Amino acid sequence: MASKSSGEAAGLQSFFADLVRCETRLYNALNDRLRERHGIVTSQFEALRYLRDHPGSRVADLATEFAIGIGATSKGIDRLEKHGWAVRRPNPADRRSSLLALTDDGSRLVDAAEATVTDALAELVGDTLDGSPGAATRQVISTLRSLLERNQIGTPTG
């Protein structure tokens, strides 16, 4: 049969529920702080950080990283450009696409926001991820992410 034992099945269901609830609440809480202190939300912070760490990326690269559609990514870049935090530069190798980069304002913003996120996460999760079970958890979640990416699981159509 396709499923594991029923005990495992129930475990995976509750793991998934817990995972989604952790993500939702942490995301919400980070949104609050980032909006208040920097006027951005978490998705924008993550895009800015990606552009800082991968200058010259294309729209499709961000879409792959975040597992969202190309259309949504393009619109997100529109907004970052409107705010003056990112720019599209012509791609000399392919005129269909642009190479993305942060502006100086964008660079300053992402560095400041990163400090906010670092402090917020430390405060929000407390010592839950300290110690040996915490280390195992980080490793397993990282491995799971790699597995999903390698298998293209949950990659959007558009």
Partner DNA sequence: GTACACTATATGCCATGGCATCTAAATCGA
Partner DNA sequence: TCGATTTAGATGCCATGGCATATAGTGTAC
Residues of the shown chain interacting with a second copy in the complex, contacts defined by CB under 8 A: 2-4, 8-9, 11-30, 32, 46, 66-68, 114-115, 117-119, 121-126, 128-130, 132-134, 136-145, 147-149, 153-156
Smallest separation (angstroms) from DNA to the CB of 123: 19
CA atoms within a 13 Å half-sphere pointing along the CA-CB vector of 107: 9
Q: How far apart are CA 57 and CA 101, in angstroms?
A: 8
Q: Are 27 and 17 in contact (CB under 8 A)?
A: no
Binding stretches for DNA (CB under 7 A): 28, 31-32, 41, 43, 58-60, 67-72, 74-79, 88, 91, 94-98, 156-158
Q: How far apart are CA 21 and CA 43, in angstroms?
A: 17
CB nearer to a second copy: pick between 78 and 119 = 119
